[in-house]
Amino acid sequence: MAVTLEQARRVGCTCLKALLRFAFMVANNLVAIPSYVLYLIILQPLRVLDSKSFWYIEGVLFKWLLAMVASWGWWAGYTVVEWGDDVKAVSEDEAMVLVNHQATGDVCTLMMCLQDKGTVVRQMMWLMDHIFKYTNFGIVSLIHGDFFIRQGRAHRDQQLVLLKEHLEKYYRSRNRKWIVLFPEGGFLRKRRETSQAFAKKNNLPFLKHVTLPRVGATQVILKTLVAPQENGTPAGRDAVIKESKSKGLQWVIDTTIAYPKGEPLDIQTWILGYRQPTVTHVHYRIFPVKDVPAEPEALTHWLYERFIEKEDLLTHFYETGAFPPLQGQTKAISREMTLSNLWLVGIQSLAFLSGGMWYCIFQYFYHCLF
């Protein structure tokens, strides 16, 4: 089939835009990530004298880096609409966030939609695949204190021990509030067949849009971070959030990401922007930790129920284009998540100014020494 001049022009414009976006992203990384590292090296004396202030500043810088990642998608027209409970109501409490996993773009989506949730982004800890350690952002996550988990049955027991030690060492000492994990243990397309075979063997529901979760990391987090007594009150659904004086994890936020037509965004699309503007839909349900069972068998059943509910939510979304209303509601309410372009430009400008400043400093010392 012959290609028309208009089609060729459109393809050419898309390729040029993708090339320019990629160049900008590379430049962004070359100034922002080294600047983050260098600022924290300079601030090491503060870490010794006032650890709380040091990690506060680190958290602000971390949030700005995540905002830069969010801006790549935001300016490409990849926006977010939120459904279900309003997680802003618990943004100052400790919470565990359980997310379904379809593609690399899931992380970028979370980086975007959590930007307007108060102090959450700068005080959160991520659990991610160990391969992420070797990406350009790996050094940032290492400094921030995220946990890299190695997948596979051969490593599972050891990784859970390391996770417990990591939480005990870094979570409270760095004033973390939210911890984000993907309990499925991998992308949907990679785990679906194995999960369905396991479900058939164990007389469990057949799932197409999610896979059965792994319980180990969730159990370790609950055992390590939950205080002996919790007095949380369910958020959203017209409930009044009462301030809790208890310490420890107070909420579990069940987060479901849905893409139109079930076509997830990957990191390449997020960076290059060659896909048409897309609205990603994110659904939240908030559970008080006191309602989550601690015993392994009961916790497994509870977690399976959450992912079976995710399957129903996603089935409804793919059939209707919307999530169903919450219990007690007659109509589902959605909220369009927005970011300030002025703020994003300010963050990007600060990154490039910082890069220029560090370059001038190194040039100065180089000429002084040589």
pLDDT per residue over 49-71, tens digit each? 999 999 999 999 999 999 999 99
Kindly report the CA angle at 284 between 279 and 285, in degrees rounded to 5? 160
What would the DSSP string read from start to end of 132-168?
A: GGGSTTHHHHHHHT-EEE--STTTHHHHHHHHHHHII
Query: Is residue 144 predicted with pLDDT exceeding 60?
Result: yes
Best CA proximity match to 239, nearest among 251, 227, 256, 225: 251
Q: Which residue has the tokens 């990191």?
A: 267
Neighbours of 301 (CB within 10 A): 12
| Mean pLDDT estimate for the chain | 89
Best CA proximity match to 139, nearest among 22, 30, 54: 30
Enter the DSSP assignment of 171: I
Summarize the confidence of residues 205-215 as an average pLDDT.
93
The number of distinct structural domains making up the chain is 1
Q: Which range among 141-155, 172-186, 287-301 shows the weakest confidence by mean pLDDT?
A: 141-155
Q: Is residue 239 part of a domain?
A: no
Query: Is residue 185 predicted with pLDDT exceeding 90?
Result: no
Q: Is residue 214 part of a domain?
A: yes
Q: Is residue 240 part of a domain?
A: no
Query: Is residue 186 predicted with pLDDT exceeding 90?
Result: no
Helix (H) / strand (E) containing 367:
helix 341-369
Summarize the confidence of residues 78-82 as an average pLDDT.
95
Q: Is residue 56 part of a domain?
A: yes
Query: Is residue 136 predicted with pLDDT exceeding 90?
Result: no
285-341 pLDDT tens trace: 999 999 999 899 999 999 999 999 999 999 999 999 999 998 878 888 899 999 999
Domain hosting 364: range is: 5-227+247-324+332-369
Query: Is residue 230 predicted with pLDDT exceeding 90?
Result: no
CATH of the domain at 78: 3.40.1130
Q: Is residue 232 part of a domain?
A: no
Beta strand pairing call for 124-129 and 147-149: parallel
Q: Is residue 233 part of a domain?
A: no
Buried b (16+ CB within 10 A) or exposed e, 58-88: bbebbbbbbbbbbbbbbebebbbbbbbbbbb
Summarize the confidence of residues 235-239 as an average pLDDT.
41
Summarize the confidence of residues 216-245 as an average pLDDT.
63
Q: Is residue 238 part of a domain?
A: no
Q: Is residue 241 part of a domain?
A: no
Contact 145, 170 (CB under 8 A): yes
